[in-house]
Structure formats: structure tokens, C-alpha cells
Amino acid sequence: MTAARDLPPRLAVASANPGKVNEYRRLLAGLAVELEAIAPDVVEDGVSYAANAVLKAEAVANATGLPALGDDSGLEIEPLGGFPGLHSARLAPTQAERNRIVLERLAGLPRPWRARFVCALAVAAPGRPTRVFIGRCEGEIVEPRPGGGFGYDPMFLVPEAGRTFSEMPPAEKDRWSHRGAAVRALRSSDVPAELGLRAIG
């Protein structure tokens, strides 16, 4: 029988988005940790990505007693003054409608339509101060292209890679993405050691 102390620590991901949860599984590979996806019961009414990320992480940590990751991210389009920003995921009921709104607002504006993805990643644990890590990825908006991913991935082009997020294999997307950058900042901090997350092998 495996002793309880030999089991990997549990870490909650405050999200009901399977695409996002799968990205965290990849990005945290190499650490001995068991991820558990738990949808946060909160209203995302923060005034920044970081505030919303903290709301989600702390809600799940307080409800479960587990350390929890919560993130909030957004697409900021320069010709539209940073729109949709904080409202990226709530701009319309479906992603197809969100894409349509963005392209309609960009119609007639000179290209390239420069944009960035921003991710704020909060780590909350009972009895510990909540920490926030920020990741960004610069790119351009293009008409949606086929492939994988989720959200605005089909229309976010990384010029240096020559591909949209949706056209990239998962490992390549992780190297470029805003979420990947935020997780790398987390992994290079003292937080994993504080939470007992050790490297495998």
C-alpha cells in the first residue's frame, strides 16, 4: 500500500474550461502534483486580470482547503484601444460571435492589427499570501484559421512563428503563449517549493 506521504500533493485548477486545464497539465509536467479541476463559484467583477485571477484562486482554495491556481486572461487589440481586454471571454455568448464582433470592429482599419494576449496567474493556499504571476505574448489578429486550441487561438498570429495558436502543436503553443510565460514565472519562483511541488526524477 502506498503511504499517504508518498502521494503527490493535490493542486486545484480554478476552471471549468477543459482546454485551459489541459494546458496546465502540460505546463506543470515534470512536477509531482495531482491536478484537480474545480469550477470557481465567483462573479468575475475585478478591475484587472490579476483581481479576477485572485478571486477565482482564493474561492477554490477556501472551498477545498487545497492550494489553487486561478487565472484570468484577455486579448488586447492595439487599433481598438485594448478591446476586448477584460471582457474577452464575456463579449458574447459564443466564440463565433466574439470573433465576428472583433473582425467587424477591425474592418477598414490598416493592418497589421497588432495585439497581445495577457495572462494573470494567481496561486492561493490556506494560510499563505496569494501570489500573482503575469505572462504576455505579442502578435497580430488575422481571419480565423483552422486547427486546434480554444477561444481566440484561431485568429491570434505569432509573427515570429508564422502560425496562429490554433495551428501550433501543443508544445509549441506552450513555448509562445501568455499562459506558458506565466507558468514559467511561477515555476522559477519559490512557490513550488513552498507548496511541496518537487521535480520528478
Indicate whether 98 belongs to any domain.
Answer: yes
Pairing type for strands 10-13 and 68-77 reads: parallel
Structural domain span for residue 72 = 4-194
Q: Given this model, what pLDDT does residue 1 score? A: 43
Contact (Cβ atoms closer than 8 angstroms) between residue 139 and residue 153 = no
200 located within any domain:
no
Q: Domain for residue 72, yes or no?
A: yes
Beta strands in the chain (DSSP E): 10-13, 34-37, 68-77, 83-84, 113-125, 128-141, 156-158, 163-164
CA atoms of 141 and 99, how far apart (whole Å): 10
Instruction: Kindly give, in sequence order, each residue whose CB lies less than 8 Å from that of residue 131, ignoring residues fewer than 6 positions away.
Output: 122, 123, 186, 189, 191
Q: Is residue 201 part of a domain?
A: no
Q: Does pLDDT of 140 surpass 80? A: yes
One-letter amino acid identity for 33? V
- Which residue numbers are catalytic? 72
C-alpha cell at 66: 487545497
pTM over 0.95: no
User: pLDDT, tens digit, for every residue of 115-139?
Assistant: 999 999 999 999 999 999 999 999 9
Residue 89: CATH number of its domain: 3.90.950.10
Any domain includes 82: yes
Q: How many domains in the chain?
A: 1
177, part of any domain: yes
Contact, 67 vs 74, CB < 8 A?
A: no
Tell me the pLDDT tens digit for each residue of 151-189. 999 999 999 999 999 999 999 999 999 999 999 999 999
User: What is d(CA 186, CA 159) in angstroms, rounded to the nearest whole number?
Assistant: 26
pLDDT tens column, 2-56: 445 567 899 999 998 888 899 999 999 999 999 999 999 999 899 999 999 999 9
What was the pLDDT predicted at 201?
A: 61
Q: 199 in a domain, yes or no? A: no
Angstrom distances, CA of residue 156 to CA of 64, 109, 168, 173, 195: 35, 17, 11, 11, 34
